[in-house]
Amino acid sequence: MLERMLHKDRTEVTFILPTDTPPGPVSVVGDFNDWRPGVHTLRPREDGKRAVTVELPPASTHSFRYLAAGDYWFNDESAGDQDGPNSRLCT
């Protein structure tokens, strides 16, 4: 799931997943972090989910995927758009 918070000079995008699906650590990896795993690792929240927030330029488009333990790559169904094998996010 994605949540967006618009600001004058940026958009904060929060990437949210259930605590245990998939199990183990999960990173959001995309063109906004040069596809580097571990830069944006999802952390537990009080509501029982895990999340990470990334600041992105307003009115921009980005490709991303999630990377879980065991080299398991997957997309975010709530992104609503694809860029080849990747999810696409418009801020």
Mapping DSSP onto H, E and C, the string for 31-84 reads HHHCCCCCCCECEECCCCEEEEEEEECCCCEEEEEEEECCCEEECCHHHCCEEC
Looking at residue 86, which CATH number applies to its domain?
2.60.40.10
Measured in whole angstroms, how far is the alpha carbon of residue 24 from the centre of its chain?
16
Q: What is the pLDDT of residue 2?
A: 93
pTM here is 0.91
CB 18 within 8 A of CB 49: yes
The DSSP output letter for 85 is T
Q: What is the pLDDT of residue 32?
A: 96
Q: What is the pLDDT of residue 21?
A: 87
When divided into structural domains, the chain yields a total of 1
Q: Which two tokens stand for residue 45?
A: 């929240």
Residues in the chain with pLDDT values less than 50:
none
Query: Residue 79 belongs to what domain range?
Result: 2-90
